[in-house]
C-alpha cells in the first residue's frame, strides 16, 4: 500500500525528531525528489512503490529551548522548534544512525522515507502480553531475523471519527525515535497492517514486567538498590532530554534476563520547556499521582515523575502499592496519613492551590515508620531517600540526579551488579493473570488534546 508523505511545518519537524537536545546538532534527512527550497514537498512511497531520487536536507536547530519549545513537537499551536537554516543538496549516502532510517535489525539498512513502512506480516505473533488504554502488546517473532520483539498495536479510536491520528500516539512515536538510553525501551520501527488504521510499533523485547516479578519474588536490598538506581538513571536521562513521562508505575517498568531495567509506555509522555507552562492535570495513574496533581495544579514539573519513583520504591519493599486510593479524595487522604497534612510553611502556596478549598483535612503528624516499619529491609538512609522523593511540596522534592547520588546507595549492602541479578522464568511469554493489586487505568481523553 502506497503512503503519501507530505512534509510541512510541525509535521516535518516531528519527522526530524521534534525538540532538539541541549547541544546544537545537525540533522539530515533523505527526502524525495520534488522537495522545494522552502523545505516542503510530497512524494509517494510504499512497499510497492519505486524508490525515487533522493535529496539531502540539512537543518540546523537551536541549542536551547526557544519560546515555543514548551508547546512540544506537536502541539495545539501548530508550531514546533524553529529552523535556522535549510539547504537541499544531493545526497550520495545515508547515515545509519539517523532515526528516520530505522535500525539495521536484519543486517540491511531500512530507510522509511525511501522504502515506506514495512508490513506487519514479517512478524509472527506468539502470544498476547497485555492490553492498555492506548494499545495491545504482543510477543512476536521477526520471521526474517528470528529475533523476538514486542509488538504494540495502537488503538486508533480516531479510525471511526474525523479526529485524525491520536495525539498521544504521535507524541509517543516522536519522543521514542529520539531517545537512546540503556534504561529506556528502544523503538525499532513502525509497521503497517492491512489498512492505514492498523499501525504497530516494534520495540525491543524484555522478558519481565517489574510488577509481575514483585508478586512472585522477594528482592534483596542489594537487588532493590540495583533496580532503583537504574530507574533513576533512566528518569534522569528523560528529564535531561526535556521529556516528562507522566505515567511511571511498576507495570511500565521492564526487566530483561541480563538484569537491565527499561522504562516503557510513553503514551502520556510529552516534551516540556522552561519556564513551565500549564498542562492537563489528568495524568499519571491514580495510585502513583503526586499531590499537586490531585490538588489541581496544572503548571507542574518533572517532580511528578519523582513522586511516582518514590511510590515504586516503597512498593518494592512492601510488595504492594503504597497508596491504593479509590478516588482522588481518598488518595489524598492516604498520602496525608503517611506524610502529614501540609501547611503554608511546609508547602509555600499550598492554600492557593485550585482544589485546596475542596478538601478539608485536620492537621496530623507523619507516620513513616508506622507504615514502613524497620524490619531490616528499609534502613534509615533508605527511608530518608523515600522521604526526599515523597515530599508533598514539589519545589522541595528531590530531582532524579539528587536521588541517584543519595548516600543510601553507598551504605552496605551495595547495589547489585545488573549482570549478577537473578534470572527468572520468562513471564511475558504468557498473558497477564488476574492480579491481587491491579492499579486503575491511566487517564486519557480530551485533556491531552487541549495541551
Digit-coded pLDDT (tens) for 320-356:
999 999 999 999 999 999 999 999 999 999 999 998 8
Confidence label for 440 from pLDDT (cuts 50, 70 and 90): low
Q: Which range (7-21, 108-122, 328-342) has the least confidence? A: 7-21
In angstroms, rounded to a whole number, what is the distance separating the alpha carbons of residues 150 and 442? Answer: 20
Average pLDDT, the chain: 76
Q: Distances in Å between the alpha carbon of 12 and those of 79, 122, 197, 248, 347?
A: 11, 28, 21, 29, 43
Give me the pLDDT at residue 187, please: 95
**Fold of the CATH domain 209-441:** Transferase(Phosphotransferase); domain 1 (1.10.510)
Q: Would you state the torsion angle of the CA atoms of residues 208, 211, 213, 214, taken in this order, to the nearest 10 degrees?
A: 160
Q: C-alpha grid cell for residue 264?
A: 516503557
282: nearest Cα among 265, 268, 266:
268
Confidence label for 373 from pLDDT (cuts 50, 70 and 90): confident
Highest mean pLDDT among 27-36, 38-47, 169-178, 437-446: 169-178
- What DSSP designation does 250 have? G
3-state secondary structure of 243: strand
In angstroms, rounded to a whole number, what is the distance separating the alpha carbons of residues 146 and 140? Answer: 10
Residues 385-389 have a mean pLDDT of 96
**Portions of the chain given CATH number 3.30.200.20:** 120-204
247 is catalytic: yes
Q: Which residues pair with 86 in a beta bridge?
A: 59
In angstroms, rounded to a whole number, what is the distance separating the alpha carbons of residues 361 and 372? Answer: 23
Cβ proximity of 366 and 374 under 8 Å: no
Please give the backbone phi and psi of residue 381, each rounded to the nearest 5 degrees, phi first: -65, -40
Give me the pLDDT at residue 56, please: 38
Q: Would you state the torsion angle of the CA atoms of residues 238, 130, 286, 176, taken in this order, to the nearest 10 degrees?
A: 20
In angstroms, rounded to a whole number, what is the distance separating the alpha carbons of residues 438 and 305? Answer: 20
Catalytic-role residue among 247, 305, 360, 380:
247
Q: Which range (192-196, 291-295, 403-407, 441-445) has the least confidence? A: 441-445
Please give the backbone phi and psi of residue 229, each rounded to the nearest 5 degrees, phi first: -65, -40
Highest mean pLDDT among 102-111, 148-157, 226-235: 226-235
Helices (H), ranges, 393-435: 400-404
**Portions of the chain given CATH number 1.10.510.10:** 209-441
In angstroms, rounded to a whole number, what is the distance separating the alpha carbons of residues 56 and 35? Answer: 9
- Report CA torsion sign: 284, 288, 292, 293: positive
Question: What is the edge-to-edge ordering of all strands in the sheet holding 83-89?
Answer: 26-32, 54-61, 83-89
The top-level CATH class assigned to 120-204 is: alpha beta
Q: Is the pLDDT of residue 7 over 90?
A: no
Q: Which range (158-162, 300-304, 306-310, 418-422) has the least confidence? A: 158-162
324: nearest Cα among 439, 203, 170, 209:
439
Give me the pLDDT at residue 57, please: 38
Q: Distances in Å between the alpha carbon of 1 and those of 102, 120, 239?
A: 19, 12, 38
Cβ proximity of 91 and 392 under 8 Å: no
408: nearest Cα among 377, 384, 376:
384
Q: What angle do CA 306, 317, 314 make, to 5 degrees?
A: 25
In angstroms, rounded to a whole number, what is the distance separating the alpha carbons of residues 380 and 303? Answer: 23
Residues 187-200 have a mean pLDDT of 88
Amino acid at each position: 500500500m502506497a503512503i503519501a508523505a507530505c512534509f510541512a511545518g510541525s509535521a516535518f519537524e516531528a519527522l526530524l525528531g521534534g525538540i532538539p537536545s541541549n547541544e546544537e546538532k545537525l540533522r539530515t534527512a533523505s527526502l524525495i525528489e520534488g522537495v522545494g527550497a522552502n523545505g516542503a514537498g510530497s512524494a509517494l512511497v510504499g512497499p510497492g512503490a519505486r524508490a525515487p531520487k533522493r535529496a539531502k536536507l540539512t537543518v540546523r536547530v537551536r541549542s536551547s529551548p526557544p519560546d515555543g519549545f514548551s508547546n512540544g513537537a506537536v502541539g495545539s499551536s501548530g508550531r514546533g522548534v524553529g529552523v535556522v537554516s535549510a539547504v537541499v543538496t544531493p545526497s550520495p549516502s545515508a547515515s545509519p544512525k539517523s532515526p528516520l532510517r530505522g535500525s539495521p535489525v536484519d543486517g540491511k539498512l531500512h530507510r522509511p522515507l525511501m522504502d515506506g513502512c514495512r508490513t506487519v506480516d514479517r512478524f509472527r505473533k506468539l502470544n498476547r502480553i497485555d492490553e492498555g488504554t492506548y494499545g495491545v502488546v504482543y510477543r512476536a517473532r521477526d520471521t526474517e531475523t528470528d529475533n523476538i520483539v514486542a509488538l504494540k498495536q495502537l488503538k486508533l479510536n480516531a479510525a471511526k471519527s474525523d479526529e485524525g491520528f491520536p495525539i498521544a500516539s504521535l507524541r509517543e512515536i516522536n519522543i521514542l525515535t529520539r531517545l537512546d538510553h540503556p534504561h529506556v525501551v528502544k523503538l525499532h520501527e513502525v509497521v503497517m497492517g492491512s489498512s492505514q488504521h492498523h499501525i504497530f510499533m516494534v520495540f525491543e523485547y524484555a522478558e519481565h514486567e517489574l510488577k509481575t516479578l514483585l508478586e512472585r519474588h522477594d528482592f534483596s536490598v542489594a537487588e532493590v538498590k540495583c533496580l532503583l538506581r537504574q530507574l533513576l538513571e533512566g528518569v534522569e536521562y528523560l528529564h535531561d532530554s526535556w521529556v516528562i513521562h507522566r505515567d511511571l508505575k511498576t507495570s511500565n517498568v521492564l526487566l530483561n534476563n541480563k538484569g537491565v531495567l527499561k522504562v516503557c509506555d510513553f503514551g502520556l509522555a510529552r516534551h516540556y520547556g522552561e519556564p513551565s507552562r500549564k498542562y492537563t492535570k489528568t495524568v499519571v495513574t491514580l495510585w502513583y499521582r503526586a499531590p499537586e496533581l490531585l490538588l489541581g495544579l496544572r503548571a507542574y514539573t518533572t517532580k511528578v515523575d519523582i513522586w511516582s519513583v518514590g511510590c515504586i520504591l516503597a512498593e518494592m519493599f512492601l510488595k504492594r502499592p503504597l497508596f491504593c486510593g479509590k478516588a482522588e479524595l481518598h488518595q489524598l487522604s492516604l498520602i496525608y496519613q503517611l506524610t502529614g497534612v501540609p501547611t503554608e510553611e511546609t508547602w509555600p502556596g499550598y492554600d492557593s492551590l485550585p482544589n485546596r478549598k475542596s478538601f478539608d483535612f485536620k492537621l496530623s503528624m507523619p507516620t513513616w515508620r508506622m507504615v514502613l516499619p524497620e524490619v531490616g529491609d528499609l534502613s534509615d538512609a533508605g527511608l530518608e531517600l523515600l522521604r526526599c522523593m515523597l515530599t508533598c511540596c514539589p519545589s522541595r522534592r528531590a530531582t532524579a540526579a539528587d536521588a541517584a547520588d543519595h548516600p543510601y546507595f553507598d551504605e552496605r549492602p551495595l547495589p547489585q551488579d545488573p549482570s549478577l541479578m537473578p534470572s527468572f522464568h520468562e513471564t511475558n511469554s504468557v498473558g497477564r493473570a488476574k492480579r491481587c493489586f491491579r492499579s486503575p487505568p491511566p487517564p486519557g481523553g480530551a485533556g491531552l488534546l487541549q495541551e
